[in-house]
Amino acid sequence: MPLRPRPFVAAALAVLIGFAAPALEAKTLRWGAAREIASLDPYSFGETFTLSVLNHVYEGLVRYTGDLKIEPALAERWENPTPTTWRFHLRRGVTFHNGDAFTADDVVASLARVSHPSSPLRGNLPAYRSATKVDDFTVDIEVAEPYPLLLNDLTNIFILGQKWMAANNALLPTDSGTGVEGYATTHANGTGPFKVDSRRPDAQTVFSRNERWWDKPAHNIDRIEFTPITSAATRVAALLSGEIDFTNVAPLQDLPRLSAAPGVKVLQTNELRTVFFAFNMRDALVESDVRNANPFRDPRVRNALYRAVDANAVQRRVMRGLSRTTGSLVAPAIPGYVPALDERPSFDAEAARKLLAEAGYPNGFSFLMNCTNDSLVNEEELCQAVASMWSRIGLRPVLNIGPRSQQTPKRVKGEFDVIPFGWANEPQIDAYSLLLQVMRTRNAAGGVFNWGSWGDARIDTLIDRAGTELDPAKRIPLMTEALTLAKQDTLFIPVHQQPMAWATRQAVRSIVQASDNKPRLWLTVLD
């Protein structure tokens, strides 16, 4: 019998293969993180990492691109009818994971929830006053005064479904003060590229691809298995043994070993967080042999300390050659940065000694350095190295090192003479964050982290003007000017931008690593 083609069977096979192939090749990314997310509720704990993970499930009106530019997300466009009103035109045809359609009601309900007095994220919308629905796809947001950074703030405010919240009694945020729990803590319903399939806290949270996502996916991931692995050595071992494909926290001391391992790739760059030393600028030092005076108030003394720091040695020895030495208080990616800020005075211990003598301290003086051992990268080693550099010009720093949870309350109370300080300018990704929260003299709105009473009236004026200037072409130079004044006065001693490292296995073909250190897996391609 002659062989005849069998069109039916061939077609059936083709269909079978066509359907079966993607199922067989379900692309899974196993992600080993350094810690567990606090909750599935994006308004329950003001932690950058938790929010960055939840951003795969929930989205804001706007979002950051892979190179940290703001782009439309749930809002398609916006305008300012008045300087204090922002009108957002929402994207049509977006659905939540449970099938509900996305409308203006969801935006209004979410903003009401996040700005509720018991919401820990309320501070993320400092200028927010109210939100009103104009029609189903238009929302007006009122701010207290002309405020340039609303879009930056909104990247971090994720939108929850109004119907879903109402049905599950979750219209209000959780409240640990009065013991109010919430459905959204353990359930999620967003609009984002991934939905939550299952969650076992401290063990595994599984995300799967949202087939109905409004955006054209740049990723090809079907499933993400998120596992926190707290112990760094175990995380490295899990990557080496192939039990995870990706970690967003690769320990710096293990980078050479990871790079040498077959099938493992290390991605290393510098993060936004800039580390600098800050001074106690009150009337007297906290712990010193100089009484009734504060040597740090003299710019020559601050300058002496600056010039005594051998930044290259710090970079090579303490940071294993991985940090970016800087003279600026903000990283290059932050609006407000200009290259001139990055210049450092040359390292010169002799000149430093002379400056100290000129200021009346030829024999140096003692002071208290408050450092932690768990917040900045290699902070303990950094403090020890810099303290010994300062000892070489005759100063007598007294090191006090402890965990962050213990040291922070002391810092808040001003019980220090010198501290290393790290600021990433997140979530705004704008120098205004540093200027307002750290550098400004304390007032109702700012200076929360002005722990040492530093500051300068000229700088305050510039900050306040930048805070209400809507035109970026005018606003950014104002911030640069403020940063330049701080530099001229040596208000702080900039050291470096911290290194950050991720590691992946072969399964990951490409991944976007932005300097805000947030994984954006909707931009990741697997092999």
Partner 1 sequence: MLVFIVKRVLNAAGVMLAVAALAFATFRFVGDPVEMMLNEQASLSQRQELRERLGLDRSLPAQYAAFVVNAAQGDFGISYRNQQDVFPLIVERFPATFELVIVATVLSLLIGLPLGVYTAIHRRSAFAQLLQWVSVLGVSLPSFAVGILFILVFSVSLGWLPAFGRGQVVQLGWWSTGFLTKSGLTALILPGITLSQCQITLVMRLVRAEMLEVMRTDFVRFARARGLPERAVRFRHALRNCLMPVITVTGLQVGNLIAFALVTETVFQWPGMGLLFVQAVSFVDIPVMAAYLMVVSAVFVAVNMLVDLTYGLVDPRLRQDAVTGGGHGK
Q: Which residues bind partner 1 (CB under 8 A)?
A: 35-36, 38-39, 41, 44-48, 117-118, 120-124, 126, 153, 174-182, 185-186, 200-204, 227-231, 233-234, 237-238, 240-243, 374, 403-406, 408-409, 412, 423, 426-428, 433, 437, 442, 444-446, 448-449
Q: How far apart are CA 376 and CA 379, in angstroms?
A: 5
CB 128 within 8 Å of CB 141 = yes
Check: CB of residue 56 under 8 Å from CB of residue 37. Answer: no
Minimal distance in Å, beta carbon 406 to partner 1?
6
C-beta of residue 193 within 8 angstroms of C-beta of residue 215: yes
Q: Of 38 and 431, which CB lies nearer to partner 1 in the complex structure?
A: 38
CB of 185 to partner 1, least distance (A): 5
The alpha carbons of the chain give a radius of gyration, in whole angstroms, of 26
Smallest gap from Cβ 135 to partner 1, in A, equals 31
Which tokens hold the place of 23?
A: 């199922």
CB 387 within 8 A of CB 369: yes
For partner 1, give the closer residue by CB, 411 or 520: 411
**Alpha-carbon separation of residue 459 from 356, 450, 488, 499 (angstroms):** 26, 13, 12, 29
Q: Which amino acid is at 272?
A: L
Residue (124 or 210) nearer to partner 1, CB = 124
Shortest approach of partner 1 to residue 48 CB, angstroms?
A: 7
Min dist. Cβ of residue 162 to partner 1 (A): 21
Q: What is the closest distance, in whole angstroms, from the C-beta atom of residue 484 to partner 1 in the complex?
A: 23
- Phi/psi for 421 (5° steps) reads -135, 135
By beta-carbon proximity to partner 1, the closer residue of 140 and 175 is: 175
CB atoms inside a 10 Å sphere around CB 111:
21
Pick the closer one to partner 1 by CB: 225 or 481. 225
H-run or E-run covering 164: helix 162-167
Quick check: 30 and 244 in contact, CB under 8 A? yes
Minimum gap (Å) between residue 174 Cβ and partner 1 = 4
**Cβ proximity to partner 1, 393 vs 516, nearer residue:** 516
SS3 139: strand
Nearest to 110 by CA among 133, 135, 84: 133
- Please identify, using beta-carbon distances, which residue of 30 and 97 lies nearer to partner 1: 30
**By C-beta, is 349 or 445 nearer to partner 1?**
445
CB of 89 vs partner 1, minimal distance in Å: 26
Sign of CA pseudo-dihedral 307, 422, 429, 496: positive
User: 44 or 288: whose CB is closer to partner 1?
Assistant: 44
The DSSP string of 467-494 is: HH---HHHHHHHHHHHHHHHHHTT-EEE
Beta bridge partners of 86: 141
Q: Whole-number minimum distance, CB 423 to partner 1, in Å?
A: 8
